[in-house]
Structure 1
């Protein structure tokens, strides 16, 4: 199923003209992904290498490098406001945006809302989302309902919450006369996204449903087919975990060519 993208012809639209290759994590943690695991210059050099690998695998599609920052992080304790989430400093966002500028990379600010809400967390991000190179990610795994604690259960987002985010991004694009904004939603189970058919696409927003599961290649492919391909929204993403995908003896990372053999071909690739 191909979902029409009204935003694709807008000036400055990234998808489907370029494939995004992103490094994910948080500079304050070596355990949350490659973005914070090694020194910034080494990390950017490694990103350069992955960009070249993808360009070689699909020369017809230019690659847009990206840094995907976990900017609101879920917590196992309630914290001061009782929301089980920690908002990072303005300085951290500014720092990652400055790193990205060295590579003409775009930036995703990702939120893990805990027991907060999408509505409560997005307004603060407008100061960065009004920049043409900054986009949004939301992780339903850490969107907790019914008093659940992040990390103990897998969370969930409903289409209505996602629609709030797409509308927020659309309004920002119009307000500041920006190229289309991109929204990445992570997913690796059925319940992580409910009522997907009710997700509303916007004329100034490009939507990526991102396969965020880890494991061997057979498991990752089945997750992609079951929860991404079978419940299409617009564009698709695929995540590669440098460590978790190789935990099983004999397991190897998906290569770009192997990912490109999937249908539909993912347009957003994330390395953690």
Structure 2
């Protein structure tokens, strides 16, 4: 991306060209000057649409938490202006309105759920006051199914009226909305395309779940599925096109992961200015297991940003204790997306 200094470098050149034209007719000179002024205005407008790269780099280093291996921060194109990351930490409640078992978002009544979410946001803001903490509702818009269904895809698309409900819940608290897809026997490309009208809204982002992507016809839930880089790149391409077409700020793409095999060929996942990728450590268990998983599959296979999932119930089984915000701030890199289920 062009940096703001380019306008300063071009300016002397424009004045030089203008001085070379002094011997020409006045109308020609005036015409050239108008053309040069227009060119300069174009350059200034373009450079005004870039981010403060110095500030961005500092934030990325801080997020990397003094990593010395060279993995973090990841080298990637600078994002478009208005990017959420690394300027914010997203705290999301996950679930589905048809189920009280799929997550906190569908388990509690609306007002109780929002109050609890705001309490978590406050805790995270105290744990890291250098980064603004913002709320999100992460809604499972496509759920994997054990039964094949009418089209034999082993997935169910939620009615749009439910997405509309989530949007209405998000508005009063200025929350982001994530639409999550479990493809079953379908594809990322097919399912994301169905949600384009919602993804074209400025505050709506995307989550994709490899666990239920069954490449060889297995029943979802019978084994852990996977995405390849090509699957993830399909989502990135669609999101990037939506951003460009609608002149939006960058979209956030959350990819869930808790095993080595869930994401294949991670080095081939593309990074573009229009999309910010979060690899979300999605497993439950005791602290030792979760930290080891984060280090093995998220830290050691860097893509761009990282997330961490916390389970209100499954992380406290067998006398386990759930991680606190302060403890997770010691991780390398620091997760910028936190999901509660």
TM-score range, shorter chain: over 0.9
> Which of the residues 322, 330, 337 maps onto 1:261?
330
Greater alpha carbon shift after TM alignment, 131-140 vs 10-19: 10-19
Q: Which residue of 2 aligns with 1:56?
A: 126
CA distance in 1, matches of 2:221, 2:199: 28
* Deviation by residue 1:40-77 (Cα, 9 ceiling, x = unmatched): 11101000000000001111111011000000000111
Cα distance in 2 between the residues matched to 1:4 and 1:37:
39
**Secondary structure of 1:6's match?**
coil
Structure whose alpha-carbon radius of gyration is higher: 2
Can you give the 5+ residue segments of structure 1 that lack an aligned partner in the other structure? none
Confirm or deny that 1:119 pairs with 2:205: no
Q: Per-residue displacement from partner, 1:86-125 (whole Å, max 9, x unpaired)? A: 0000101111011011110000000000000112111111
What does residue 224 of structure 1 align with?
Answer: 294
How far 1:7 moved relative to its partner?
4.5
Superposed CA offset, 1:120-150 (max 9, x none) = 1111111100000000000000001111111
> Aligned runs of 1:138-177 on 2, under 5 Å?
138-177=208-247
The CA distance in 1 between the partners of 2:76 and 2:119, in whole Å, is 30
Match of 1:4 in 2: 75
Match of 2:14 in 1: none
Which structure shows the bigger proportion of residues in helix conformation?
2
Size of the aligned set, in residue pairs, is 270
Instruction: Work out the CA distance in 1 between the residues paired with 2:174 and 2:81.
Output: 17
Secondary structure of the 1:225 match is helix
Equivalent-residue separation in structure 1 for 2:299 and 2:91 (angstroms): 20
Q: Go from structure 1 to structure 2 and tell me whether the alpha carbon gap of 1:106 and 1:7 turns closer, same or farther (over 3 Å shift).
A: farther
Given the two structures, how large is their TM-score scaled by the length of structure 1? 0.98
Normalised to the residue count of structure 2, the TM-score between the two structures is 0.78
1:35 to 105, 111, 131: 105
Kept in 2, the 8 Å contact 1:7–1:205? The answer is no
| Ranges in structure 2 where 5+ consecutive residues have no aligned partner | 1-70
Partner of 1:109: 179
Match in the other structure for 2:253 = 183
Equivalent-residue separation in structure 2 for 1:130 and 1:201 (angstroms): 20
Q: Distance in 2 between matches of 1:70 and 1:112?
A: 8
CA contact (8 A) 1:7 1:13 kept: no
- Tell me what 2:149 maps to: 79
SS in 2 for 1:55: helix
CA distance in 2, matches of 1:64, 1:122: 24
Partner of 1:93: 163
> Does the 8 Å contact 1:7/1:204 carry over to 2?
no
SS class of match (1:248):
helix
Q: Which runs of 4+ in 1 moved over 4 A?
A: none
Task: Give 2:35's aligned residue.
Answer: none
In the alignment, is residue 133 of structure 1 matched against residue 237 of structure 2?
A: no
